[in-house]
Amino acid sequence: MLHTWTRALLYHPHVHLIVTAGGLSADRTQWITPKHSAFLVPVQALSVIVRAKMCAALKGAGLLGEVLPTVWTTPWVVHAQPAGDGAPVLDYLARYLFRVAISNSRLEQIDDTHVTFRYRDNHTQAIRRATLTGMECLHRFVQHVLPRRCAKVRYYGLWSPTRRADLEAARRLLQPSLAPSPPMASPATPTPTLTPVALPPCPLCHAGTLILLAVLRPQRKVPP
């Protein structure tokens, strides 16, 4: 998932990735877990690989001459850290999927010459405010409008549409083992009678039933 802005609308292109902690075996019959349980890949080695891949891609596109030679001798840093798994990761990434660079709720003042908006500092988590001229504010915003035919979200590996069969195989292999069946009750033990619970109808379609799984609370307090 491509993400190009900071909370202050500065240009900061980067990507968010969902990486499986393991993969299918060659014959698609086993799920192979990482060799080291503490980490997935060595970050220092990954930094060298990313730099080499970027160099090769620019060379193939005929753009290598436009990059300063010192870029390829400077150590690159690939920052990698786990963001969790399951629902928390999907909830985190969902915020960036279709969100624009700034929402109306962050705009605090607009006049004929300037725009003031608030943002949260990444380092201190403090609420700050930026006042920009109208032209500067527009410049910061439109630089995050993706060019035509530029895909914001791409799917690779098991998430690729061409790998549906492999994805289903992975899901079957990763299903938790079924709990053992409880022992059968003796004939003398009466079987409890369960009273059916009436489920409320869905408030949207009014055709199905509403099953409440969880309530998602706000991740942080709304700034003043």
Q: Going by C-beta distance under 8 Å and a sequence separation of 6 or more, which residues neighbour residue 101? A: 4, 5, 9, 140, 141, 144
Least confident window among 73-82, 101-110, 209-218: 209-218
| Confidence category of residue 218, pLDDT binned at 50, 70, 90 | low
Residue 195 resides in a domain: no
Is there a contact between 42 and 78 (Cβ–Cβ < 8 Å)?
no
Tell me the residue range of the domain where 107 lies. Answer: 102-143
Assigned domain for 90 exists: no
pLDDT computed for residue 201 by the predictor:
77
pTM over 0.75: no
Q: Tell me, what amino acid is at 188?
A: A
Beta bridge partners of 31: 24
The pLDDT of residue 184 is above 50: no
Residue range 101-127, pLDDT digits in tens: 898 999 999 999 999 999 999 888 899
- What's the structural domain count of the chain? 1
User: Mean of the pLDDT values across residues 126-131?
Assistant: 95
Summary mean pLDDT of the chain: 82
Tell me what pLDDT residue 58 has. Answer: 95
Contact, 22 vs 33, CB < 8 A? yes
